Chain A
Amino acid sequence: MTVLSDRQQLSYIASQAADARLNVELETEGMTLNIGPQHPATHGTLRIICRLDGEQVVWAEPSAGYMHRGYEKLTEVRTFPQVTTLVNRIDWLGSFANEVPFILAAEKLMEIEAPPRAQVIRTILFELSRIANVSLFLGDLGVQMGAITPVFLAFRDREYVLNLIESATGGRFHPNFDRIGGLKDDLPAGWIDETRQVMVKLREFCDIIEDLLFGNEIFQSRMRGIGIIPADVAKDYGLSGANLRASGVDFDLRRDQQLPMAWDKADWKVWTHPDGDSFARCWVRLQETRESCKIVEQLLDQVPAGPIMTKVPRIIKVPEGEAWVSTENPLGEMGYYVVSKGDLGPFRVKIRSASFNNISIVPWALKGVYVPDIITILASLYFILGDIDR
């Protein structure tokens, strides 16, 4: 320890006192900042109320419900095949992926399984909707940080995927294509070759985004080390999907559970990142897009011949019982708890959507950050309002 002279000590005390006086003069009252309900950075209509002290957030609270459309109640008055029309619209960027867990739950109750061809096509469409979803996220990421170019690229390349989905299902992004026991239609002619070409384009898109955005110095300095979520906190809040994997937890329902889908037929990898910051979350999503392209390319070679529909009665009545099926959707774990009383429609459906849990961490993650970081943290958590409010 260095010995300070009296003179040094006195000057230190004097400087501290001056600082303290200055701080008293500059002390702010604090203000409340309202973000939303309509704000480009909130992907729709999330409202966040922040209490600020100067530039720092002391307290933040998301106010959900601006997009509450009452899905769980509506499913009670719809028949089983009609429910897919509704659940399409929960996560509107990856619509096909929303139908799959519900259909699987209904099939589980009826004790049937889709034929192998339908399973593979289902998986391909599932991954295509993941690509359509995450590519828009990657483009939008730039906009939130003030770079407009990536979003044009994303919209350009996303259109190719949407064209594929449209040519197979007839809908650009609300396909309503999955049926209990299989699929509505077979693939159109030439679809497989076309998909192969599009996957090449999508990989190029990932490379461009990696160069343009992830290699950008400003992007890195705004993302790295911001909004760090440790693994145990992430688990406590029930995060799932890329948000969880970016905290270093190796968890992917596509690999970790057995479903009548075709993910195990392809060779792919679950990416994790040890950092848990905003950059890690975006990076994991970028890698996942590449993995999805890989899965699709491999499955395209293995589409078996055969029917696309098993035998189901014309009027579908699901036997009495309860079933829970969840899958790894673009945003995270999405599950349906279906209770049937043997009627035409479900008695009760509980929807577990990923974004609702993912934004529950917002009060924790926003505590103590600076105002510009609010946007990057929200952007990297990646939620979709329909998925939060349902």
Chain B
Amino acid sequence: MGLVDKGRMPAPLTKLFNMSRSYSLWVYQWGLACCAIEMGAAFGSPRYDVMRLGVIPLPASPRQADFVCISGTVTDKMAPAVRRLWEQMPEPKYAISMGSCANCGGPYWDSYSVTKGVDQIIPIDVYIPGCPPRPEALLEGIVLLQQRIKNEDMAAKWRGEEFTSLQTTRERERVANQPAAVEPVAAREPIVVGGGPIE
């Protein structure tokens, strides 16, 4: 794919790639605490059945996973393992942080042994609030992640940039072509479930 090597991809091709990627996600379940049970209910139970969304749970190792669902309390002792897991995953990779503990420390906001927010260690794409979030909330988070993937500018990813949406790229091009200085657009905006419309 010469186009890809040059870092330029026609928009229809990007769309096609993104759609295929977003409906064949292997998820690595990094269940740490109580939220892991709700994650298990979402991924493993017949009532919620995550596979209809095109998400396949239980890869054999993080090296085969497309995104990781960090659910539960990350403690300071666990943090290096989480970082190592993230580094083992191949690009393109995404992360969902499930539960207040993983988002910000949750009920342990003043504990001496809890890492307040897994986003101190790895970049997070979708935050799911709740203690624990219902399985439906996790499913919505996954749908939002899929929408985010569908909107991603693959060329920017190949250039090694952070997550850039197609809209951001278009905006940047417009700004670059304009002579007047306009405020740069923030590249990476995380999505919060229930936090208003997404791009």
Q: Do A and B come from one complex?
A: yes
Interface residue ranges, A against B (CB under 8 Å):
37-38, 44-45, 65-70, 73-74, 77, 85-86, 89, 92-93, 136, 151-152, 155-156, 159, 172-174, 385-386
**Among the interface residues A66, A77, A156, which one has the most CB atoms of the partner chain B within 10 A?**
A66
Q: Which chain A residues lie closer than 8 Å to B30 at the CB level?
A: 38
Instruction: Among A89, A159, A172, point to the contact of B45 (Cβ < 8 A).
Output: A159
Q: Which chain B residues lie closer than 8 Å to A68 at the CB level?
A: 75, 77, 113
Chain A: CB-nearest residue to B111: A70
Q: Which chain B residues lie closer than 8 Å to A93 at the CB level?
A: 37
Within the complex, the shortest CB–CB distance from B31 to chain A, in Å, comes to 7
Enumerate B62-115 residues with CB–CB distance to A below 8 Å. Answer: 73, 75, 77-78, 81, 85, 107-108, 110-114
Known contacts A92-B34, A385-B33; A155 and B40 CB within 8 A of each other: yes
B132 at the interface (CB under 8 A from A): yes
The answer to whether B131 touches A174, judged by C-beta atoms less than 8 angstroms apart, is yes
Chain A: CB-nearest residue to B82: A38
Report how many A-B pairs have Cβ atoms within 8 Å.
Answer: 82
Interface residue ranges, B against A (CB under 8 Å):
30-34, 36-38, 40-41, 44-47, 73, 75, 77-78, 81, 85, 107-108, 110-114, 131-132, 134
Within the complex, the shortest CB–CB distance from A141 to chain B, in Å, comes to 14
Q: What 7 new A-B contacts, CB under 8 Å, besides A68-B75, A73-B112, A159-B47?
A: A37-B81, A38-B31, A38-B81, A68-B113, A93-B37, A156-B45, A385-B33
CA distance A66 to B37 in the complex (A): 17
The answer to whether A37 touches B46, judged by C-beta atoms less than 8 angstroms apart, is no
The answer to whether B32 touches A155, judged by C-beta atoms less than 8 angstroms apart, is no
Instruction: Among B34, B47, B77, B110, point to the contact of A65 (Cβ < 8 A).
Output: B77
Q: Which chain B residues lie closer than 8 Å to A89 at the CB level?
A: 33-34, 107
Q: Which chain B residues lie closer than 8 Å to A38 at the CB level?
A: 30-32, 81, 85
The answer to whether B73 touches A67, judged by C-beta atoms less than 8 angstroms apart, is yes
Enumerate 12 A-B pairs (CB-CB under 8 Å) in ascending A order: A38-B32, A44-B31, A44-B33, A66-B77, A67-B78, A69-B75, A92-B34, A151-B44, A155-B46, A159-B41, A174-B34, A174-B131
**Among the interface residues B31, B37, B113, B114, which one has the most CB atoms of the partner chain A within 10 A?**
B37
Known contacts A37-B81, A136-B37; A67 and B75 CB within 8 A of each other: yes
Q: Which chain A residues lie closer than 8 Å to B40 at the CB level?
A: 155
Q: Which chain B residues lie closer than 8 Å to A73 at the CB level?
A: 111-112
Q: Which chain A residues lie closer than 8 Å to B110 at the CB level?
A: 74, 77
CA distance A70 to B106 in the complex (A): 13
The answer to whether A156 touches B108, judged by C-beta atoms less than 8 angstroms apart, is no
**Among the interface residues B77, B85, B131, which one has the most CB atoms of the partner chain A within 10 A?**
B77
Q: Which chain A residues lie closer than 8 Å to B111 at the CB level?
A: 69-70, 73-74
CA distance A44 to B34 in the complex (A): 9
CA distance A85 to B34 in the complex (A): 13
Within the complex, the shortest CB–CB distance from B12 to chain A, in Å, comes to 40
Q: Which chain A residues lie closer than 8 Å to B114 at the CB level?
A: 69-70
CA distance A94 to B46 in the complex (A): 21
The answer to whether B134 touches A152, judged by C-beta atoms less than 8 angstroms apart, is no
The answer to whether B47 touches A45, judged by C-beta atoms less than 8 angstroms apart, is no
Q: Which chain B residues lie closer than 8 Å to A65 at the CB level?
A: 75, 77
